[in-house]
Amino acid sequence: MLTSSLIHLGKILTYRIRVLTLPSSIYVMAVAVVIVFLRYLWEVLKHKYFIIVAGFQNDISKLGRSEFWPYAEYFCGSKDINQKKHDAFHVAWLHHVAHNDHHCEHFISNYSQIAKQLRNNSELAQNYLREMPDDAILELLVDNVAATRSYEGYWPNGEKKDGWTYMTKYFNHYVLHPKTRIKFGALLCALGYTQVLPNEFDWTQIYRSDISSDDRMKLAQLKALAN
């Protein structure tokens, strides 16, 4: 009995020694896999975090004292918009476009003087237009996509002619520098929104003499994506 017990104990100890010695490489591999997993998870979460940060920074001035309450009263207050509220909103709007360069009005030098008349006569701004930088054009597009989802309740769909009614209606009403308009239209086409444009985009515009070689190369790349 004692002998069999000792033999059994010996087998157990031998097995445990094997368990402790043989899987060491497996243990190292397991730790390595976990480290790889955690590193990649961190990269993904960090990426998502900065997307949130970038999105939160968009139109952040709306949360400030100069804009929040005038906007709140104008859009969410009583339907009776008196002159005082209208004037307060106008001042807030001027502040907004002055502090957010993804609005085309930011690049109209005399915008604060002609803002009220500009809706009915865009020619007033023609001699005061400046080009929008590429990052501002990108943010303009992203802002419009998000605004459509937020205020109209759907994501823009470039596969249908009526898939983005706001852009179809207002694309030609953006008061943009001619080269900025070309870039904006090309970007929309490259991202699959060709059909929502009110008119077919003319790609020959990218060969205008006043477009730099660098911009022409970028536009050619957008054209390749659009085709």
Over residues 2-56, the pLDDT tens digits come to: 456 555 545 554 554 454 554 677 777 888 888 999 999 999 999 999 999 999 9
Residues contacting 110, CB < 8 A, separation 6+: 125, 128
How high is the pLDDT of residue 10? Answer: 54
pTM: 0.79
Mean pLDDT score of the chain:
88
155 φ/ψ sector (left φ>0, alpha ψ -120 to 50, else beta): beta
Measured distance CA(123)–CA(114) in Å, rounded: 11
pLDDT at 207 over 50: yes
> What is the pLDDT averaged over residues 204-216?
92
How high is the pLDDT of residue 18? Answer: 52
| DSSP result, 99-117 | S-TTSGGGGBTTHHHHHHH
Sketch the domain layout of the chain as residue ranges. Answer: 2-57, 60-119, 134-226
pLDDT at 170 over 70: yes
How high is the pLDDT of residue 21? Answer: 52
What phi, psi does 209 have (nearest 5°)? -65, -25
Residues contacting 199, CB < 8 A, separation 6+: 172
Of residues 29 and 95, the one with the higher pLDDT is 95
